[in-house]
């Protein structure tokens, strides 16, 4: 098996490891409602995903250049069982954490939407109660 293919798989594993570590940090930021941290992590992950895509493309081309099929590429990968297995396991872990983050963010979004809906209803009730004397647009009256 060509050494450069082994190097590509090892590079893919290193990138996936970095993505997994960032995903763990992302989960912590999501848990603590630190959206700026989440956005920073997503930007870092985007760069790593671009590198991963390049490595995957080079792996695919290496099979194509030899006149190989997708099956040939799988056969090459089967010669690297440890690193390929580790890559698959990392990818599964990444997907699992991403799904958990997604679910928590959706839950938070829905809670905020519910709070805003309640706030709007309170504002409408107050305006109705005040008979049109309510302060429009949520302005604060500081007169004494």
pLDDT per residue rounded down to tens, the chain (144 residues): 578 888 999 999 999 999 999 999 999 999 999 999 999 999 999 999 999 999 999 988 886 655 555 555 565 666 678 999 999 999 999 999 999 999 999 999 999 888 888 887 887 777 777 765 555 566 666 676
Taking the model in full, what pTM does it have? Answer: 0.72
Helix or strand or coil: residue 80? coil
DSSP label of 134: S
CATH topology of domain 3-129: Methane Monooxygenase Hydroxylase; Chain G, domain 1 (1.20.58)
Distance (Å, rounded) from C-alpha 112 to C-alpha 36? 17
């Amino acid at each position: 098996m060509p050494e450069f293919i082994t190097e590509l798989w090892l590079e893919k594993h290193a990138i996936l490891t970095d993505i997994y570590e960032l995903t763990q940090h992302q989960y912590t930021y999501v848990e603590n409602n630190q959206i700026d941290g989440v956005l920073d992590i997503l930007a870092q992950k985007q760069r790593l995903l671009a590198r991963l895509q390049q490595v995957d493309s080079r792996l695919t081309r290496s099979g194509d250049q030899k006149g190989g099929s997708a099956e040939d590429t799988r056969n090459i990968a089967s010669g690297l069982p440890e690193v390929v297995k580790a890559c698959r396991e990392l990818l599964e872990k990444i997907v699992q954490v991403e799904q958990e983050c997604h679910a928590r963010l959706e839950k938070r979004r829905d809670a905020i939407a519910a709070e805003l809906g309640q706030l709007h209803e309170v504002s409408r009730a107050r305006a109705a109660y005040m008979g049109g004397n309510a302060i429009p647009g949520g302005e604060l009256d500081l007169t004494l």
